[in-house]
Amino acid sequence: MFAEYGVLNFWTYVAGAIFLVLIPGPNTLFVLKNSMSGGVKSGYQAAAAVFIGDAVLMFLAYTGVATLINTTPVLFNVVRYLGAGYLLWLGIKMLYTTFSQREQAAVTPGKKVRGAVFKRALILSLTNPKAILFYVSFFVQFIDVQSAHPGVAFFILATVLEMASFCYLSLLIFSGSSLTRAIGSRQRLAKVGNSMIGLLFLGFAARLATLQ
């Protein structure tokens, strides 16, 4: 399928893309957290930023910029430490907000400044060097470099990945929003959930900072 456009082993790629989308990461956790705290609209604001961030990284991979970052230790380390620092800041902010806010605010969707969630999710997506490594190493395995139009093959693969991501993030958004409604006034349970997400972000920051 799509072999005439330079795509190799399309269904193998689809299976691999779905598997990779399902692996928990800071992007998916951030979308889930915002859908739980701000509802479906807030969740899709974060998801939209993830889609755009992924699209930018895929375009950079296609143009060769991602390869340059991957093969230049200094540039890669800059991106890595920026990403780790941002994850650390988000984790600390989540924990601080969880334990400093009033009891009622802990379980009611907070009023977020429009665009703040989008900006945070976009920065989170663009400072993820693991995504850069993925786009450089994974995509090239399924593109026929001898094809007359490799850009078309790259676009097809990117579209499939974005569609898989959209379906998965949509599931997270509605699940998170439903979970919030189910929790209702169980303030302690809500705090535990937010605290766990904050701690996971600190863990992602530590892992990213020590990535070799």
Instruction: Kindly state whether residue 50 falls inside one of the protein's structural domains.
Output: yes
Instruction: Kindly state whether residue 72 falls inside one of the protein's structural domains.
Output: yes
Q: CA 29, CA 35: separation in Å to the nearest integer?
A: 10
Report the percent of the chain where pLDDT is more than 70: 75
Confirm if 106 and 184 have CB atoms less than 8 A apart: no
Count how many domains the chain has. 1
Residue 143, SS3 per DSSP: strand
The answer on pLDDT for 210 being more than 80 is no
Confidence tier at 165 by pLDDT (50, 70, 90): very high
Q: CA 181, CA 166: separation in Å to the nearest integer?
A: 23
Instruction: Kindly state whether residue 71 falls inside one of the protein's structural domains.
Output: yes
Instruction: Kindly state whether residue 82 falls inside one of the protein's structural domains.
Output: yes
The answer on pLDDT for 107 being more than 50 is no
Instruction: Kindly state whether residue 3 falls inside one of the protein's structural domains.
Output: no
Domain interval for residue 58: 26-209
Instruction: Kindly state whether residue 5 falls inside one of the protein's structural domains.
Output: no
For 98, half-sphere exposure in the C-beta direction (CA atoms, 13 angstrom radius) is 21
Q: CA 87, CA 209: separation in Å to the nearest integer?
A: 10
Instruction: Kindly state whether residue 100 falls inside one of the protein's structural domains.
Output: yes
Confirm if 59 and 154 have CB atoms less than 8 A apart: no
> What average pLDDT score do residues 74-93 get?
76
Q: Which residues in 47-86 are b (16+ Cβ under 10 Å) and which e?
A: bbbbbbbbeebbebbbeeebbebbeeeeebeebbebbbeb
Instruction: Kindly state whether residue 204 falls inside one of the protein's structural domains.
Output: yes
Q: Which residue has the higher pLDDT, 166 or 1?
A: 166
